[in-house]
Amino acid sequence: MNSLHVVVYLLGLVVLCESSCFFQPLALTDPNNPPKGCVDEDGKEHPFGSQWVKNCVQCYCTGRGMACCTMIPDLSSISFPEPCEMLVDKKTCSFRLVLKSDKTKKCIPA
């Protein structure tokens, strides 16, 4: 049932944030020694049921594999009204819309 919650959550992220997601299925190389978790791109093993964030990419490890989504929308897939632009803070993995002319003011598209 937890896997279903993860899938629903990830689908929600895709719709709301237009983020980029991927799924890496579990690799079963030795049937006598099944994996105990998911291995990330750095070779670090994460136990089943765990989640982590690295470089603003949030990942989940399930019994079927590793599902990851970016936490910041892809700028190329979003169009903003002319006075607005998106500022990204990679330290907090957040973003906000501001006026191009005054980045201290929020931009609210009409």
- Can you give the length of the chain in residues? 110
Architecture of domain 2-70: Ribbon (2.10)
Report residue 8 as tokens.
């629903």
User: What stretch(es) of the chain map to CATH 2.10.70.10?
Assistant: 2-70
Question: Is 4's pLDDT higher than 90?
Answer: no
Question: What average pLDDT does the segment 51-72 reach?
Answer: 95
Predicted confidence at residue 2, as pLDDT, reads: 43
Question: How confident is the prediction for the chain on average, in pLDDT?
Answer: 81
Predicted confidence at residue 11, as pLDDT, reads: 37
Q: What is the pTM of this model?
A: 0.66
The edge-to-edge listing of strands for the beta sheet with 51-54 is: 21-25, 65-70, 57-62, 51-54
